[in-house]
Homo-oligomer: A and B are copies of this chain.
């Protein structure tokens, strides 16, 4: 039961764009350096995100990527669904007409995970970072 590196990268990428995309676009190279993602791998991920309409792009010098939806609209679930394409949990259906109680169990868990991820937005993630850094500052101030 695992989440792929690709998904983790995709999330960090969108978060990076939300945090550093204020003034225009952000280049692949910048994201890669900050989030420690292999450049070529990141390119693929960005293309995926672009095809899904999450980000937009501008080519050529001074080019780069930017969020095409607001951080408040982009849910974590939406990103995860893009990169975690395969059937999340065993759809080991009721083989041979047999009822399998585990299938039901997995389904319930899957739904809960889905709802949780769908309830978390990139904006919320940014807020949590703010919150954390805020607390840090307080400690220093005192």
Chain A residues in the interface with B (C-beta under 8 A)? 1-3, 5, 8, 11-12, 15, 36, 76, 80, 84, 86-90, 92, 95-96, 99-102, 104-106, 108-109, 112-113, 116-117, 120, 125, 128-129, 132-133
Contacts and interface: CB of A to CB of B under 8 A. Distances in A.
A102 B11 contact: yes
User: For the complex formed by this chain, how many copies does it contain in all?
Assistant: 2
B116 A84 contact: no
A80 B95 CA distance: 21
Contacts of A11: 102
B132 A89 contact: no
B89 A101 contact: no
Contacts of A117: 109
